[in-house]
Amino acid sequence: MKILRKMLLPFALLYGFVTWSRNFFYNSGILKSKSYKFPVLCVGNLNAGGTGKSPMIEYLLKLLLPEFKVATLSRGYKRSSKGYRLLSGTETATEAGDEPLQFKRKFKNALIAVDADRRNGIEKLQQENAEIVLLDDAFQHRKVQAGLNILLTAYGDLYVNDFMLPTGYLREPTVGAERAKIVVVTKCPPNLTKTEMESIRVRLKLQNYQQLYFSFIDYGEEIISETTIAPLSSLKDKNFTLVTGIANPKPLTDYLEAQELDFKHLAFNDHHNFTNTEIVRLQKESLLLTTEKDYVRLRENFENGQLFYLPVKTSFLNKEEVFKQEILSFAHKK
């Protein structure tokens, strides 16, 4: 695989030039970005997938919903429906996309919408009286100029150590990071030292206007199904199967192994749409544990007590109150 990626280097250089040129045209005003008079906040990344965007969107929803009418807008990756759709929560993951449906099931008071055309989606959400829109995975969507960009990069997979697609996983050259006012290093070890934080800061070469934060994935202490909540420790005397359709399941498997749990792992690609054959195979397993976004795709196919998910959330290692204040100050801008 490494040899193949090296062979694709000319294509990566070409792709990098094309994306750099596109950004140049937007930055210089030759191509027009649309800005808005109300708060539009973008959460995105430079790497393709696996940086923890969904937990960050949920963190922001929890922070903002008590005070604002909050909307999220995603394209609804791999959904079967087309155009703009405001979710009710009764859709299937196939119709709406797994992550948007996950948001709606958890935050019923939020406006959760999908639309590949972000401009159209924002205008529709304005008609719903949204007071702030969170754009999920729209950092490269330059037709919209968000008022605040939050760029995520995973610890151990920093964008400065990566290369352009298809040789690496970068969607655009690293200079694109300069569009973000906030950079969050996600998926850090909970015991990350201040010395290590400073080392990462130096490697990222941030601009003076950019704020850097460090976060980690905080796993729940309970597993959840449609009708049951049980302590994660209840799995200690059971053999179960872990099913994942996410970009990087290693932090999850590491966490479960650290809890001394005995499990078999079936790993699928990110946003995997499970086939009937795969569902039948999984139905033969006595006990399944999965991620929350996989759960919304799988839940309708299993009996109560057979399928559970382990919730996750974003927790900060440094300056959390500063981060919150920065978000709230932006949300109050008109």
Helix/strand/coil for 236: coil
Same domain, 158 and 283: no
pLDDT at 271: 85
Contact 162, 70 (CB under 8 A): no
Helix axes 320-331, 53-64, angle to 10 degrees: 70
Rounded to an integer, the average pLDDT of 2-13 is 79
Question: What would the pLDDT profile of 10-24 be if each residue is shown by its tens digit?
Answer: 889 999 999 999 999
pLDDT at 325: 98
Please say if the pLDDT value at position 8 is more than 90.
no
Please say if the pLDDT value at position 4 is more than 90.
no
190: DSSP letter = T
Query: Pick from 238, 211, 210, 217: which is nearest to 305 by CA?
Result: 238
Overall number of domains in the chain:
2
Please say if the pLDDT value at position 32 is more than 80.
yes
What integer best gives the mean pLDDT of the chain? 94
Query: Pick from 222, 254, 250: which is nearest to 235 by CA?
Result: 222
Of all residues in the chain, what percent carry a pLDDT higher than 90?
Answer: 88
pLDDT at 182: 98
Please say if the pLDDT value at position 115 is more than 70.
yes
pLDDT at 78: 83
Which of the pair, 145 or 272, is modelled with greater confidence?
145
pLDDT at 333: 82
pLDDT at 1: 53
Same domain, 212 and 274: no
Band (305; pLDDT cuts 50, 70, 90) = confident
The answer to whether residue 119 sits within a structural domain is: no
Please give the Cα distance from 55 to 313 (Å, whole number): 5
What distances in angstroms separate CA 5 from CA 87, 153, 247, 270, one per listed residue?
39, 22, 18, 20
Rounded to an integer, the average pLDDT of 226-240 is 93
**pTM for the predicted model, two decimal places:** 0.94
The answer to whether residue 321 sits within a structural domain is: yes
Contacts of 285 (CB under 8 A, 6+ apart): 240, 241, 306
CB-neighbour burial class of residue 236 (10 A; exposed 0-12, middle 13-18, buried 19+): exposed
Please say if the pLDDT value at position 58 is more than 80.
yes
pLDDT at 2: 65
Same domain, 175 and 141: yes
The answer to whether residue 106 sits within a structural domain is: no
**CATH code of the domain in which 246 resides:** 3.40.50
Same domain, 24 and 139: yes
Query: Pick from 241, 239, 238, 286: which is nearest to 267 by CA?
Result: 241
Same domain, 150 and 293: no
Same domain, 207 and 268: no
Rounded to an integer, the average pLDDT of 78-97 is 92
Rounded to an integer, the average pLDDT of 101-127 is 97
As a dihedral over the C-alpha atoms of residue 213, residue 219, residue 220, residue 223, rounded to 10 degrees, the angle is: 150
Please give the Cα distance from 63 to 216 (Å, whole number): 17
| Domain membership of residue 151 as a residue range | 2-68+131-217+315-331
Band (7; pLDDT cuts 50, 70, 90) = confident
Rounded to an integer, the average pLDDT of 91-102 is 92
Please say if the pLDDT value at position 289 is more than 90.
yes
Query: Roughly how many angstroms between the first and final C-alpha of the chain, as a whole number?
Result: 50
